[in-house]
A and B are shown apart, each in its own frame.
Chain A
């Protein structure tokens, strides 16, 4: 070891420096190695910096990738069609049963009278989304006087057309290698020349539930499911977490039983989340017979998962309240419970809230345990109660990431962006709370 050598010889090196003709002085040896050692020092330092830059580069790569893939999803291609609300196809008494697809087919036929033959007609109809019918239905429901009139309407294009407009489908690729035929391209070009095909803000994405058609799929259903689930989680985990933290920190006697509880909480914090899913499946679904895919059960499972986080943060917050506060309260005659509820708990509350918000952010991003309890189903409807089958944002991302359609890639990324916005907002609130109420005693 070099350091032992220099250490032993340091004093002799200094004393021997006065003798000029000593052939090999320790200082020389040290100086000779110095350049190399400084190089090693610089190398090491650069290595450290490189490590940080690498992880930050991964982070920015991840964000750029998601943003790059997802930003197009907020705009959706629409085609302007001159719809004739043909009285023959619409039953005035029963607007829901009208043949809206027929109206669109007729409009397309008027647009391209030269198209004939079954196959060609089908291809022509394919450029408009099947969801266009709903738009017509809504228009008519809001304004039944439209029957018999002609109205230029913007209807969503099919996902392949959307992909073409966003440049994800190569126009010049050979016909059999792209999802749109030459004929369809020609029709679309005609629309383009008349400036009747445009990208507009994608409202559907924020208001609709899931769908098999990418252009009709939205995240509102999953968002509502997430909200229900998080509400249940918050309702259960906050009081239970605070109660546990208060008991363990303020009341618990130091004995075997409290030791067991403490070790348990620490271990639960590190149990893989999927194991909580197994617990939920075996206990809540199979043993108690709770409904599958329900936000209530999801909330229960996530409660168990986030409890350790909240308890640990809560205990840290209680610990940071100085004992003098407690002693002052006790000395003027407060009972122990009064001391806690009137003085300690209010002072520890910001810290507890911060911990709770971080726990909720964790719960919002969690996927694996919810897959186990069946929140992975394909659900079109927006959930209306705590027991309706529903899905949550991360699971929706997982489902879309698995879908083969090209158009779902951008929607997945956009959903991820929405999820990240929620998470960043929650964490920002936590940081703000901590900064604002943090007290140094």
Chain B
């Protein structure tokens, strides 16, 4: 039996017990029907169903969480001594081999009889565990439900019970957001701290050389690895600045035109079209940047006699700029619309033309909101991954020339973590350190931006 079938059986059982509970409620109410009960009969059914499902699901979740660890430990306990005494990382490899054997993957080399035995044992224990889980979960479901059914009497406050349970579920759901944040912070921080134990924090933040390729074994040819992240940060900054120089003027001017000049029809047509730009997957932009824009820039540079790298920062930045135009324009549109009409009327009354009103009255009044929008767009640009992975380069050059190849934080995270990983090598851990920096920077930008926007909105409300 697979876990999913077990889940489905529990759910079916629980819906069966709904009817059992409801019927029981009618029975205990005697001839008076639903009027003889404290709550509506459906609540008695729901209560029984809930108490049937919840304990079983709890057991199921806990079991799933700890099953792998317990089964693995049992199997290790049965291994011959010489394997059990191996250092932890070698033991990990052995366990991996066993698991591969269990799931029927191809294992390189001859299959050791000891391993085969261990795999059989693993399969065995797993089957026993699954059977035990099935029995325990189902027994628990039926017993608790029967117990609740037995307790049903006309005075029982079933609705209140059900509502309390539902409310607890609602509260649990709403805390998931908090747990996600905590999870992000802890997971990134934990690996980063391991990284900073190997590479000092100051070397990482202020070092000028980035070449994360490290020799994994001592006898391997390879550089010793340098983890100075300044070139990576500068590359990110450069691409983001290029993107913003594209997006801010275009986005801002379109927002101004749409909110101040355009007629209703034009606005209704143009606005959703511009929003499409925000809905296109970033991988599409990446493809466009890498296969259309970059060659175009390279060729046109070649015609002018310039040597432009085919992975230039310019191409990635330009396309990223196109991507964030809608962020800038829709946020600025909001704040420009929030500027009270009275301010405009005042300026018109003094004889200002429309553009003068916009430049001297509306924009200054909306400036904090616009800056907030630009900060949000900047945080988008910094955290954007696929465009730069596909169109920007890998080599960390310390350069200010947008025609050369640069790399970004997100590109490095992807290249360091895609493929085989070794979780004690600084190379892998460096990705988490970069992730931490990325998280902190975008978080700061967002908090500042949201604060600015909110403060500004309150001014005119």
Give the interface residue-count category, chain B: 35 or more
Give the Cβ gap from B336 to chain A, nearest Cβ, in Å: 12
Which positions 349-372 of chain B face chain A at CB distance < 8 Å? 350-356, 358-360
CB pairs A–B below 8 angstroms (25 shown): A3-B347, A38-B353, A41-B356, A45-B354, A50-B253, A51-B254, A51-B257, A52-B274, A55-B250, A55-B325, A62-B322, A239-B173, A244-B173, A244-B174, A247-B167, A268-B177, A274-B435, A275-B383, A278-B435, A281-B417, A283-B187, A286-B423, A335-B163, A371-B414, A398-B389
Give the Cβ gap from B459 to chain A, nearest Cβ, in Å: 20
The contact string, 1 if C-beta is below 8 Å from chain A, for chain B 403-434, is 00000001001100110000100000001100
Q: Which residues of B contact A (CB under 8 A)?
A: 4, 65, 68, 159, 163, 166-167, 169-171, 173-178, 180-181, 183-184, 187-188, 190-191, 249-254, 256-258, 260-261, 270, 273-274, 276-277, 279-288, 290-292, 322, 325-326, 329, 347, 350-356, 358-360, 376, 379-380, 382-386, 389-390, 410, 413-414, 417-418, 423, 431-432, 435, 438-439, 442-443, 446-447, 450
- The CA of A423 and the CA of B281, in the complex, are separated in Å by 9
Most chain A Cβ neighbours within 10 Å, of B173, B277, B291? B173
Q: Say whether A150 faces chain B, with CB atoms less than 8 Å apart.
A: no
- The CA of A366 and the CA of B280, in the complex, are separated in Å by 10
Give the Cβ gap from B278 to chain A, nearest Cβ, in Å: 10
Q: Is the CB of B181 within 8 A of A62?
A: no
Nearest chain-A residue to B181 (Cβ)? A264
Give the Cβ gap from B123 to chain A, nearest Cβ, in Å: 17
Q: Is the CB of B177 within 8 A of A264?
A: yes
Q: Is the CB of B438 within 8 A of A272?
A: yes
Give the Cβ gap from A7 to chain B, nearest Cβ, in Å: 5
Interfacial chain B residues near A307, Cβ < 8 Å = 176-177, 180
Nearest chain-A residue to B285 (Cβ)? A62
Which of A55, A267, A361, A419 touches B284 (beta carbons < 8 Å)?
A419
Number of interface residues of A (CB under 8 A): 91
Which positions 40-61 of chain A face chain B at CB distance < 8 Å? 40-41, 43-45, 47-52, 54-56, 58-59
Which positions 223-253 of chain A face chain B at CB distance < 8 Å? 239-240, 243-244, 246-248, 251-252
Q: Is the CB of B177 within 8 A of A278?
A: no
- The CA of A427 and the CA of B291, in the complex, are separated in Å by 27
- The CA of A271 and the CA of B273, in the complex, are separated in Å by 26
Which of B279, B283, B352, B410 touches A274 (beta carbons < 8 Å)?
B410
Q: Is the CB of A243 within 8 A of B383?
A: no
Which positions 353-371 of chain A face chain B at CB distance < 8 Å? 361, 364-368, 371
Interfacial chain A residues near B446, Cβ < 8 Å = 266-267, 270
Give the Cβ gap from A263 to chain B, nearest Cβ, in Å: 9
- The CA of A413 and the CA of B439, in the complex, are separated in Å by 32
* New A-B pairs, 19, CB < 8 Å, besides A279-B180, A398-B390: A40-B355, A41-B354, A48-B256, A51-B251, A55-B326, A55-B329, A243-B174, A264-B181, A272-B410, A274-B414, A275-B438, A282-B187, A367-B283, A368-B414, A372-B414, A413-B287, A416-B284, A420-B280, A427-B279
- 10 nearest A-B pairs in the assembled complex, by CB-CB distance: A272-B383, A48-B257, A365-B281, A282-B187, A51-B253, A44-B355, A243-B173, A368-B385, A247-B170, A244-B174
Give the Cβ gap from A282 to chain B, nearest Cβ, in Å: 3
Q: Is the CB of B181 within 8 A of A267?
A: yes
Interfacial chain B residues near A308, Cβ < 8 Å = 177
Which of A50, A337, A402 touches B163 (beta carbons < 8 Å)?
A337
Which positions 405-441 of chain A face chain B at CB distance < 8 Å? 409, 412-413, 416, 419-420, 423, 427
Q: Is the CB of B188 within 8 A of A275?
A: yes
Most chain A Cβ neighbours within 10 Å, of B171, B250, B283, B288? B283
Q: Say whether A323 faces chain B, with CB atoms less than 8 Å apart.
A: no
Q: A270-B446, A274-B383, A274-B438 are in contact. Are A261 and B356 (CB under 8 A)?
A: no
Interfacial chain A residues near B287, Cβ < 8 Å = 66, 397, 401, 412-413, 416
Give the Cβ gap from B73 to chain A, nearest Cβ, in Å: 13
Give the Cβ gap from A393 to chain B, nearest Cβ, in Å: 9
Majority secondary structure of chain B interface residues (helix, strand, loop or mixed): helix
Nearest chain-A residue to B258 (Cβ)? A52
- The CA of A176 and the CA of B376, in the complex, are separated in Å by 52
Q: Say whether A404 faces chain B, with CB atoms less than 8 Å apart.
A: no
- The CA of A385 and the CA of B352, in the complex, are separated in Å by 67
Nearest chain-A residue to B176 (Cβ)? A240
Q: A288-B65, A337-B166 are in contact. Are A401 and B290 (CB under 8 A)?
A: yes
Q: Say whether A65 faces chain B, with CB atoms less than 8 Å apart.
A: yes
Most chain B Cβ neighbours within 10 Å, of A364, A386, A416? A416
Which of B65, B183, B261, B389 touches A48 (beta carbons < 8 Å)?
B261
Interfacial chain B residues near A1, Cβ < 8 Å = 360
Interfacial chain B residues near A336, Cβ < 8 Å = 163
Which of B273, B353, B385, B414 touches A37 (beta carbons < 8 Å)?
B353
Q: A267-B447, A272-B384, A272-B438 are in contact. Are A55 and B181 (CB under 8 A)?
A: no
Interfacial chain A residues near B249, Cβ < 8 Å = 51
Interfacial chain B residues near A337, Cβ < 8 Å = 163, 166-167
Q: Say whether A85 faces chain B, with CB atoms less than 8 Å apart.
A: no
Interfacial chain B residues near A30, Cβ < 8 Å = 351
Q: A6-B350, A272-B383, A274-B413 are in contact. Are A45 and B280 (CB under 8 A)?
A: no
Q: Is the CB of A45 within 8 A of B261?
A: yes
- The CA of A247 and the CA of B175, in the complex, are separated in Å by 10
Q: Is the CB of B250 within 8 A of A51?
A: yes
Interfacial chain A residues near B359, Cβ < 8 Å = 44
Q: Is the CB of A394 within 8 A of B384?
A: no
Q: Is the CB of A270 within 8 A of B286?
A: no
Q: Is the CB of A372 within 8 A of B191?
A: no
- The CA of A420 and the CA of B356, in the complex, are separated in Å by 41
Q: Is the CB of A62 within 8 A of B284?
A: yes
Q: Is the CB of A401 within 8 A of B291?
A: yes
- The CA of A69 and the CA of B443, in the complex, are separated in Å by 39
Interfacial chain B residues near A304, Cβ < 8 Å = 176, 180
Interfacial chain A residues near B169, Cβ < 8 Å = 243
Nearest chain-B residue to A364 (Cβ)? B281
Q: Is the CB of A398 within 8 A of B286?
A: yes
Q: Is the CB of B257 within 8 A of A52?
A: yes
Q: Is the CB of A66 within 8 A of B355?
A: no
Nearest chain-B residue to A369 (Cβ)? B385
Nearest chain-A residue to B172 (Cβ)? A243
Q: Is the CB of A367 within 8 A of B292?
A: no
Interfacial chain B residues near A52, Cβ < 8 Å = 253-254, 257-258, 270, 274
- The CA of A55 and the CA of B450, in the complex, are separated in Å by 26
- The CA of A281 and the CA of B414, in the complex, are separated in Å by 12
Interfacial chain A residues near B413, Cβ < 8 Å = 274, 278, 372
Give the Cβ gap from A348 to chain B, nearest Cβ, in Å: 15
Q: Say whether A76 faces chain B, with CB atoms less than 8 Å apart.
A: no
Q: Say whether A265 faces chain B, with CB atoms less than 8 Å apart.
A: yes
Interfacial chain A residues near B277, Cβ < 8 Å = 55, 58-59
Which positions 1-28 of chain A face chain B at CB distance < 8 Å? 1, 3, 6-7, 10
Q: A37-B353, A371-B418 are in contact. Are A274 and B385 (CB under 8 A)?
A: yes
- The CA of A364 and the CA of B287, in the complex, are separated in Å by 17
- The CA of A279 and the CA of B384, in the complex, are separated in Å by 17
Which of A3, A275, A289 touches B184 (beta carbons < 8 Å)?
A275
Q: Is the CB of A398 within 8 A of B356?
A: no
Nearest chain-A residue to B428 (Cβ)? A281
Q: A66-B284, A401-B287 are in contact. Are A335 and B181 (CB under 8 A)?
A: no
Interfacial chain A residues near B171, Cβ < 8 Å = 247
- The CA of A287 and the CA of B292, in the complex, are separated in Å by 41
Q: Is the CB of B431 within 8 A of A278?
A: yes
Q: Say whether A276 faces chain B, with CB atoms less than 8 Å apart.
A: yes
- The CA of A261 and the CA of B351, in the complex, are separated in Å by 49
Which of B167, B170, B274, B423 touches A55 (beta carbons < 8 Å)?
B274
Which of B250, B281, B360, B439 touches A394 (beta carbons < 8 Å)?
B281
